[in-house]
């Protein structure tokens, strides 16, 4: 399978990465090289094989449904590029 330029633009959009038009052909070539490389996986018979969900055979651990941490708004927002009164500032989302 290979991707065309329109698909590359669509993937960039889904990935939320702005891709200048001039970079589309290069990215397309590289993605297709990788898709060509992974094509050999089609040779493998996977009938009846369970997909791996956990590499170590262990049950997902559960814990009490209680608050373990919090009340740290200042720490949480300390690295924000823009914040005010412990809120993250973003462009207007809802008109």
Partner 1 sequence: MTDLTALTLDEARKGLIEGKFTSVELTKAHLTAMEAARPLNAYVLETPEKALEMAAASDARRANGKAGRLEGIPLGIKDLFATEGTRTTACSRILGNFVPKYESTVTSQLFRDGAVMLGKLNNDEFAMGSSNETSAFGPVVNPLKPANWDTAKAKSALASDRKGLLVPGGSSGGSSAAVAANLCLGATATDTGGSIRQPAAFTGTVGIKPTYGRCSRWGIVAFASSLDQAGPIAKTVRDAAVLLTSMAGHDPKDSTSVEMAVPDFEAAVGKSVAGKTIGIPKEYRVDGMPAEIEALWHKGAEMLKAAGAKVVDVSLPHTKYALPAYYIVAPAEASSNLARYDGVRYGLRVPGKDIVDLYEKTRAAGFGREVKRRIMIGTYVLSAGYYDAYYLRAQKIRTLIKKDFEDVYAQGVDAILTPATPSAAFGIAEKADADPVEMYLNDIFTVTVNMAGLPGLALPGGTDASGLPLGLQLIGRPFDEETLFSLGSVIEDQVGRVTTAKWW
Binding residues for partner 1, rule: CB under 8 A, are 1, 3, 7-8, 11-19, 27, 29-31, 33-34, 37-42, 44, 46, 49-56, 58, 60-61, 63, 72, 75, 77-82, 88, 90-93
Cβ at position 71, least distance to partner 1 in Å: 13
Tell me which residue has tokens 């050999």.
40
Structure-token pair, residue 55: 């590499």
Q: What is the enclosing helix (H) or strand (E) of 83? A: strand 83-84
Cβ at position 40, least distance to partner 1 in Å: 6
Structure-token pair, residue 47: 């009938």
């Amino acid at each position: 399978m290979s991707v065309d330029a329109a698909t590359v633009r669509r993937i960039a959009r889904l990935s939320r990465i702005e891709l200048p038009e001039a970079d589309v052909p290069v990215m397309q070539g590289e993605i297709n090289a990788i898709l060509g490389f992974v094509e050999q996986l089609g040779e493998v018979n996977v009938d009846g094989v369970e997909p791996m969900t956990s590499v170590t055979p262990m049950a997902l651990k559960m814990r009490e449904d209680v608050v373990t941490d919090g009340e740290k708004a200042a720490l949480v927002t300390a690295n924000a590029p823009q914040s005010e009164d412990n809120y993250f500032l973003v462009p207007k989302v809802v008109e």
